[in-house]
Amino acid sequence: MRAVEPLRILPGEGVEALDQTLLPREERRLRLRTVAEVAEAIRALRVRGAPLLGVTGACGMAIAGGERGAGREALARAAAELKATRPTAADLGAMIDEALRAADAAGDDEDERRAALWRFAAEALARQRVRDAALARHGRDLPGMEGGVLTHCNTGALATGGEGTALAVIAAAWRAGRVARCHATETRPLLQGARLTMWELAALGIPATLLPDSAAASLIASGRVNAVITGADRIAANGDAANKVGTCALALAASRHGVPFYVAAPRSTFDAAAATGADIPIEFRDAAEVGGFGDQRWSPDGGDAWNPAFDVTPADLIAAIVTERGALRPPYGPAIAALTGMAR
């Protein structure tokens, strides 16, 4: 089993990130030293996954403390620039806001502010690793997490910096002798499942099968999978969950065939300001991503494309939401309020 380290924090210097757009063909690490470089890496999906985006955002704020001075106005500008890169992931904005509070708590001395921001970024990554391990333990014994399971997009170490969310649950169930095989969707149009999840499953030594997104419903209907589990980028107060586009279709197929559909996400993914999924902002990406991949194009030039990066799965299709503090079950409103302290 090979460890995957997508992010290395270099206090006072910057951050070293594994460029996920090049995987699995090439493992190249990027040295990010400016806020602009961090923002570009996030926007271009060189760094991705909601929890890892949060940690990366905290690193961007630490860089801002040195790059632009640690004044409140300069930090606020950096925060706005970083938040604008990926609007759907809750962790990014939440972690940036926490970094701003850490800077304020350090007082008016710029050196102390800078040190506090780097300390906060390192602590954020360490906390995420602890959360991932706890989340995996809570999800390991869920009903259906045995035999064949299905997942979508990428939710391993590449997405969090720790063990992952849904993929960490799958790995824990596999180590416990429950999961025998993980089926992974390609996750079009950017193929995070084919490129990243299959790469991570190979590194973990878990038997894996890749399938086109369009084959997922027939796989569920075939009886070859006993559970579907995905991550989430933002979860509303009622349990509606935004995740990589295509997730809702999996939940619908799983419901039709009596297969439990689970979401695995840390507490930081819940958004108190979103009452339902209708309140979650959905990121739309460049139409050029749909008609090909990289330099290869298979769609005629000039055609239009609808390219949402995420969709929302209604709470009534979700059998359980696994967090680092345990598995939540319907009705989600009271359970989420108890977990996060949200007002009901």
Cβ-based burial of 297 (10 A; exposed 0-12, middle 13-18, buried ≥19): exposed
CA distance 264 to 250: 15
Q: Which residues pair with 9 in a beta bridge?
A: 15
The string of DSSP codes covering 275-291 is SSGGGS---B--GGGTT
Q: Which residues pair with 184 in a beta bridge?
A: 151, 210
* Catalytic residue status for 91: no
Among 182, 158, 150, CA closest to 21? 158
Taking the CB of residue 58, how many other CB atoms lie within 10 A of it?
28
- Residue found by looking up tokens 């801002």 in the block: 64
Among 274, 280, 249, 284, CA closest to 332? 274
DSSP class of residue 240 equals -
With residue 310 as reference, give the H or E element that holds it.
Answer: strand 310-313
DSSP class of residue 265 equals -
Q: How far apart are the first and last CA of the chain?
A: 44
Among 240, 252, 244, CA closest to 336? 240
One of 213, 233, 271, 311 is an active-site residue; which one?
233
Taking the CB of residue 169, how many other CB atoms lie within 10 A of it?
32
- Residue found by looking up tokens 């040190």 in the block: 115
Active site residues: 233
